[in-house]
Amino acid sequence: MSTLLMVAAPILIIWVIQRYLDFRRTARDVGNFPGPRMLFPPAAVVSRILPRIRGITAGWQRETVTGFKEFEEYGWEAFAHVGAWPRPRATIYLADPVAIKEVTTYRARFPKPVQLYDVLSFFGRNIVASEGEEWKKYRKIASPAFSERNNKLVWDEAVLVMQGLFDDLWKGRSEIAIENVAEITIPTALFVISSAGFGRRLSWSSDGGLPSGHRLTFKDAMQVVSEGVISKLVVPRWAMGLTPYFSKVRIAYDELHQYMEEMIRDRRNSETKEERYDLLSSLIDASGDGDPDSSLTDSQLLGNVFIFMLAGHETAAHTLSFCFALLALHPAEQERLYDEIQRISPDPSKPPTYNQMSLFVYALAVLYETLRLAPAVVSIPKESAEDTSLVVTSIAGEKQSIPLLKGTDIVIYTTGLHANPRYWPEPDAFKPERFLGDWPRDAFIPFSAGPRACIGRRFFETEGVAALVMLVSQYTIEIKEEPDFAKESFSARKERIMQSKPGLTTTPVRVPLVFKRRSGSTSQ
């Protein structure tokens, strides 16, 4: 044993020294730019499990908690995180809008690391998990689907869904207490995307029945798919039958796949061509000439429609949850929104129309301020495709260039940018009026930026404004009073209500609310 130790010890010492030298070289490769030096890089599995431990791991909560604080700590609107294990690697974090604009504009120099998104291709290749010519093809075909006619459909369906919530689920009650507002925002977003995405209308009171050859209704399949996406992403196919829940998720994905295949087949083979403006129908129409350069295979149709459904549903559901929470925490802002609604759509018997959407400037400002404080995507990964450099700004306004070797990881840090006090005074405060008049557009990227900016932005904004206007026109929103939190301060209450956890998008932990019907409401 002693002989073995005598042989192994020098080898171990040499390995540690070599690893340390590699670590130091990695830091020099980015100009020894300020930032944390830790054992594990941000992308390591350990960093997604453990809390922040100084010198060890950044912690899974970094992106939803630190905001701009870490940038202030290092004195720059960027910092270089250098991790040592399992191999030294540098990651540049950005909260500098000028540098971010350069990264998002020059896609050839700073492409999206699409390998990180391959797990989202289980229904087929899609716009999110592609780059280069493949991405251009999907973008070109998909863009016409997000038309004004589709936006009007989104608005009309959102109004119907909210009216159904008031009439069919709440049944005109004067007060509704909800343990977690996700109980209504998740189905609301699901119903809207079902109709505007697939042309299948769902309601609060009916599931449409179980068709022959199916094990789940379309509504149940959609709900389980949306709730089980994380399990689908992280659990291998062979393990999806190990628990009853995993089995349920597997069945739901198989069922949704079957439903989508049936819809594609029916619409392609229909002798009577209906004028439909849902995303699936528009994509089928836009890619029906059979030319592989300008059309989508069934698998690509499935992949793209599913990714639009997944991204649109998650973003809308969680943003509305945070939005309702912030309005409950700030009743003066809620009443200002109600006043705008009353000016534009004063007759409670006539729901607001899509033609009026542009008039609801404060409603959109409320939505934007929610996205600034709780962006759906907290970080956007990029990488350097060549040896290059990037100029960044210090807190004091100085400039410095960071050298970037080919393959260097870059993270556009949305929460840091949205809390940068150079562009957002009092960054932690909820002030929707920031978005009235002129505002720093390059410092606001909840939909990403540049050519790869979210293709469904208008879809989301239309749904969000419609749902927000409908709810606030009929109900006031308050935080549910609970004995365990009777003596908490406003700041403690806000922190509790706005608490989030990692997910496909930023996910609220629990938002307990009370909805009280306004006098003169038309809800029955």
pLDDT in tens, 131-163: 889 999 999 989 988 999 999 999 999 999 999
| Per-residue pLDDT, 371 | 97
Name the H helices within 379-441. 414-418
| Per-residue pLDDT, 358 | 96
Residue 23 CB contacts under 8 Å (≥ 6 apart), including other chains: 37, 82, 84, 88
Find the mean pLDDT for residues 380-384. 94
Strands (E), 367-456: 379-383, 388-393, 399-404, 409-413
Residue 90 pLDDT level (bands cut at 50, 70, 90): very high
C-alpha span between 266 and 263 (Å, rounded): 5
Tokens for 437, please give them: 């008049």
C-alpha span between 222 and 226 (Å, rounded): 6
Total count of residues recorded for the chain: 524
> What are the b/e assignments for 455-472, b being 16+ CB within 10 Å?
bbebbbbbbbbbbbbbbb
In sequence order, the β-bridge partners of residue 379 are: 413
| Per-residue pLDDT, 292 | 67
Residue 426 pLDDT level (bands cut at 50, 70, 90): very high
Percent over 90 (pLDDT), the chain? 59
C-alpha span between 416 and 425 (Å, rounded): 13
The angle formed by the CA atoms of residues 14, 17 and 23, to the nearest 5 degrees, is 140
Q: Pick the range with the lowest mean pLDDT from 144-153, 254-263, 265-274.
A: 265-274
| Per-residue pLDDT, 409 | 94
Residue 15 pLDDT level (bands cut at 50, 70, 90): confident
Amino acid identity at 361: V
| CA 159 and chain centroid, separation | 23
| Per-residue pLDDT, 274 | 65
Residue 60 pLDDT level (bands cut at 50, 70, 90): low
Average pLDDT, the chain: 89
DSSP 174: S
Is residue 287 pLDDT above 80, yes or no?
no
Is residue 30 pLDDT above 70, yes or no?
yes
Q: Pick the range with the lowest mean pLDDT from 52-66, 240-254, 491-505.
A: 52-66
> Which of 366, 293, 331, 287 is closest to 516 using CA atoms?
331
Q: 3-state DSSP call for residue 290? A: coil
Tokens for 358, please give them: 């542009």
Find the mean pLDDT for residues 43-54. 72
| Per-residue pLDDT, 48 | 66
> What are the b/e assignments for 285-303, b being 16+ CB within 10 Å?
bbbeeeeeeebbeeebbbb
DSSP 448: B
Mean pLDDT is highest, among 266-270, 279-283, 422-426, for 422-426
Q: Pick the range with the lowest mean pLDDT from 113-117, 155-159, 402-406.
A: 113-117
Q: Pick the range with the lowest mean pLDDT from 98-112, 305-319, 459-473.
A: 305-319
Domains, in order of start, for the chain: 2-113+381-418 (no CATH), 132-377+446-517 (1.10.630.10)
Find the mean pLDDT for residues 346-362. 94
| Per-residue pLDDT, 504 | 80
What is the C-alpha R_g of the chain? 25
Find the mean pLDDT for residues 515-523. 80
Q: Pick the range with the lowest mean pLDDT from 166-180, 194-208, 251-265.
A: 194-208
Residue 458 pLDDT level (bands cut at 50, 70, 90): very high
**How many angstroms separate the Cα of 103 from the Cα of each of 221, 385, 408?**
39, 11, 13
Is residue 70 pLDDT above 80, yes or no?
yes
Is residue 1 pLDDT above 60, yes or no?
no
Q: Which residue has the higher pLDDT, 366 or 39?
A: 366
Cβ pair 261, 298 in contact under 8 A: yes
| Per-residue pLDDT, 174 | 95
| Per-residue pLDDT, 494 | 96
| Per-residue pLDDT, 241 | 83
**Backbone φ, ψ for residue 448 (5° rounding):** 65, -160
Tokens for 388, please give them: 């290059």
Question: Which pTM does this prediction carry?
Answer: 0.92
Find the mean pLDDT for residues 4-23. 74
In sequence order, the β-bridge partners of residue 501 are: 507
Residue 397 pLDDT level (bands cut at 50, 70, 90): very high
Q: Pick the range with the lowest mean pLDDT from 347-351, 414-418, 423-427.
A: 347-351
> Which of 382, 415, 412, 410 is closest to 506 using CA atoms?
415
| Per-residue pLDDT, 65 | 57
